[in-house]
Amino acid sequence: MWGIIKVYRRVVTRYPIIIQATQAGILMALGDQIAQNFIERKKFKELDFLRTAQFGSIGFFITGPVTRTWYGILDKYIGSKTGIAVLKKVACDQLIFAPAGLGIVLTTIGLLQGKDFEQIKTKLSNEYLDILLNNYKIWPIIQLINFYFIPLQYQVLLVQSVAILWNTYISYKTFTLGEQQKRQINIYIK
């Protein structure tokens, strides 16, 4: 076990962006699988592995690298040694990064679902505020802990580990509602 931790420390320090992108992709895919298996209660043959791959790709290409870069910017310009610095980082994270990041993730999900920009705009107007408000119920306290106690190179890992449940919620809220709407449209057309 200590050997794995030692290797992880070495590679996350040497290759922070790629390691944290990889772990974000894996953990976001896991969140989607949890949504499909335990919330939607899909049987194995019903699982949408393309959806899981899409969700994982959002983690790998967007949330992992962008989050790590953002945390580096906060650390560089605000610091990390004082309680005031931590509060400033949480405020910036929740007032700037969270709203923008959520919009980007929801738009990306819409694009991956094949929606046009008008449909994405409608989906954002219907879901964005609710998801953002739910974000504010859990993430400020997580980020207080993260920025105060966790070294920079492990912050994305902590956030993505906690985000397994958040990603499950996002996956269910965005992908599942899209599927339900498709079924309703199909029923209406028939």
* The two three-digit tokens of residue 124, written as one number: 């954002």
What are the residue boundaries of the structural domains of the chain, listed by start? Answer: 1-189
pLDDT tens for 41-97 read: 999 999 999 999 999 999 999 999 999 999 999 999 999 889 999 999 999 999 999
3-state secondary structure (DSSP) of residue 190: coil
CA angle at 110 for the pair 108 and 114, rounded to the nearest 5°: 115
Q: According to the model, what pLDDT value does residue 177 have?
A: 55
* The two three-digit tokens of residue 48, written as one number: 């949408």
Buried b (16+ CB within 10 A) or exposed e, 97-130: bbeebbeebbbbbbebbebeeeebeebbeebeee
Residues in the chain, total:
190
